Amino acid sequence: MHPDSIHVETREPIRIDVFLVRRLSGVSRARVQRHIAAGNVLVDGQRVRSSHRLLGGEVITLPPLTSRRLSEVAEAVDIPVVYEDDDIVVVNKPAGLVVHPVGGEYRRTVIGALHRRAVARGEDADALGIVHRLDRLTSGLMVLSKRYEARRVMAEAVESRLVHRAYIAIVQGVPAAASGRVDHSIRRDPVRPTRMQAIDAAAAAEIIRQGWPPHVSASGYSDPRRNLRPRRARTYWRVLRRLRGVTVLRCRLETGRTHQIRVHLQAIGLPLLGDPLYGVTSAIERPALHASVLGFIHPASGKPLRFHAPLPDDLRHLIALHNALDAT
């Protein structure tokens, strides 16, 4: 794919990132800054920073950047709606679907599909927002807000740990105890930034004592892949069923860190079946993890709500397969 060329015309000096956001429809400033920092944007053939000021007459070369506005790019995706009213919508997310646009995955998303659905029904979709997230490969319940005030209230509930979230996990190994708790802090793996890392209290305290490198890039935007700060995390687990070499667990989150259950279970020697990052290969091609229970107080009415989502077919079949092995 050939890069685009833009001839700069301006009456006064202007930052290159500001210029490109104004010139490119539907492309965010953060996205422009990421491309500049990666060296994908050149001014007269030279790399620059986001703060570089254009004077006019320059030629900018950059990769084709298409609009990612939900109204323009979102595809229709069948997502089961468990509950909906004027303030919130609760869905049972299928495995393999991202919650919001990430990198090259921006057409098939939960937020995009619900935005498209709202617009098709003649509803105002501008306030549609994400309250909490699920990993792309995790299935199950999640709630989104439909009004700004509902989002604020729900965000505070999540931060205050007033949202009840329970998961079904199928792991390799059979723990001796019937239940337990994992208190390891979680941070991004400094060697493999696509992974998270569970560390015990002593290691976390030492990292905090020594400090960690800043996670702001040269172009001035915060890069989460460089944020190595350990964050406290707690997961409760309970055995639901023991099979030959495999256990079905119920896990409850007290905190909600990235990949929390996946990395916590790996840390205690109970890796998820099918997890490509932290687990072991299995008959299933995604982490055997399902958000089965979601409970919270309604942001407007104050009424307690609780929802249950049954195991999807792939996880039921996985349990049946190990049942059959257990019986032999």
Kindly write down the DSSP assignment for every residue of 272-326, as one continuous string.
BBT-TTTSB--SSSS--EEEEEEEEE-TTT--EEEEE-PPPHHHHHHHHHHHHHH
Cα 23 → chain centroid: 29
Query: pTM for the full model?
Result: 0.78
Which of 170-184 are b and which e, b meaning 16 or more Cβ less than 10 Å from the residue's Cβ?
bbbeebeeeeeebeb
Angle at 309 between CA 306 and CA 310, to 5 degrees: 140
- Per DSSP, the residues of 51-92 read TPEE-SS-EEEE-------HHHHPPP----EEEE-SSEEEEE
Residue 307: its pLDDT value, please? Answer: 98
State whether residue 22 is helix, strand or coil: helix
- Per CATH, the number for 70-160 is 3.30.2350.10
Instruction: Please state whether beta strands 139-145 and 289-297 pair in parallel, antiparallel, or not at all (unpaired).
Output: parallel
Residue 1: its pLDDT value, please? Answer: 45
Cβ(241)–Cβ(257) below 8 Å = no
- Per DSSP, the residues of 186-239 read EEE-SS-TTSEEEE-HHHHHHHHHH-----B-TTS-B-GGG----B---EEEEE
Residue 217: its pLDDT value, please? Answer: 55
pLDDT per residue of the chain (328 residues) written in tens, 0 to 9: 456 888 898 888 999 999 998 887 667 788 889 889 999 999 999 999 999 999 999 999 998 776 555 555 667 788 999 999 999 999 999 999 999 776 666 678 898 889 888 888 888 888 888 899 999 999 999 999 999 999 999 999 998 999 999 999 999 999 999 999 999 999 999 888 889 999 988 888 887 777 766 565 554 555 666 678 889 999 999 999 999 899 999 999 999 899 999 999 999 999 999 999 999 988 899 999 999 999 999 999 999 999 999 999 999 999 999 887 666 5
Separation between Cα atoms, residue 263 and residue 253, nearest integer Å = 13
Give long-range contacts, CB 8 A cutoff, 24+ apart: 47-51.
48/16, 49/218, 49/219, 50/15, 50/16, 50/17, 50/219, 50/220, 50/221, 51/15, 51/17, 51/219, 51/220
Of 17, 87, 135, 275, catalytic: 135
Residue carrying the six token digits 């792991």: 171
Domain 4-62, what fold? 3.10.290
Give the number of residues written for the chain: 328
Q: Which residues contact 72 (CB under 8 A, 6 or more apart)?
A: 26
Cβ(143)–Cβ(294) below 8 Å = yes
Q: How far apart are the first and last CA of the chain?
A: 55
135 given a catalytic annotation? yes
Separation between Cα atoms, residue 142 and residue 62, nearest integer Å = 37
Closest CA to 271 of 252, 249, 253: 249
* Alpha-carbon radius of gyration of the chain: 23
Residue 57: its pLDDT value, please? Answer: 92
Phi-psi category of residue 302: left, alpha or beta, with phi > 0 → left and psi -120 to 50 → alpha: left
